Structure 1
Amino acid sequence: MKLGIVIYSNDPETVWNAFRLGFFSRKQGDAVSVFLLGKGVEAESLVSEKFDVTGQMRSFSALGGSILACGTCLKLRQSEGSDICPVSTMQDLYALIRDSDKVLSF
């Protein structure tokens, strides 16, 4: 299955759980792509005692999961993409939605 996950939240528990699902799905052999949109582009900088968001993102990426971050949303926050979250576009989000069997949003 091709799973698309759109993360629009900057709540550490929500983002952590979204990446947990992505990680689990990758372990099941599914192709998984994540698109960070709006507040979701803050995911890599989220700090929480209970939820290691960045660690979960890195684990997901290490298993071959794809993470893209909205360039416009990053620019609005005076931020940039990174090695784990490259800058992306609406065209990439559209392609993720078009090519996925299922799309979830968090």
Structure 2
Amino acid sequence: MKEKQNNFEFIAVIGIIFLMIFLSISVLLVFFTSTEWKDMYTTLFSIVGSVVGGLLGGYITLIGVKQTIWGQREQESIKLIPQKLIAIHLLKKKLDCFTS
């Protein structure tokens, strides 16, 4: 459980560092060029939107892959049922030979 907590702390630290770098560059651009604040907000929101969209899309894909794997395993287990029944029948015949 502790490993998962460390991973989230690492992601939070990376996010804070990214935000600090972005804000520093934004302030420098506003003061030393003719860039307006609204352009910085637009850029920030587009970056955040891309990251959130990528995370949501990846999560939905992960759920779909898990369901596909689960369904495939279920199909494979259903395919093996006739072979198992034949094996049980043969085993029963062999046991009947010993008991008779």
Q: TM-score, normalised by structure 2?
A: 0.29
Of structures 1 and 2, the one scoring higher in RCO (CA 8 A, sep 6+) is: 1
Q: TM-score, normalised by structure 1?
A: 0.28
Determine which structure has more spread, i.e. the larger CA radius of gyration. Answer: 2
Greater share of helix: 2
Greater share of strand: 1
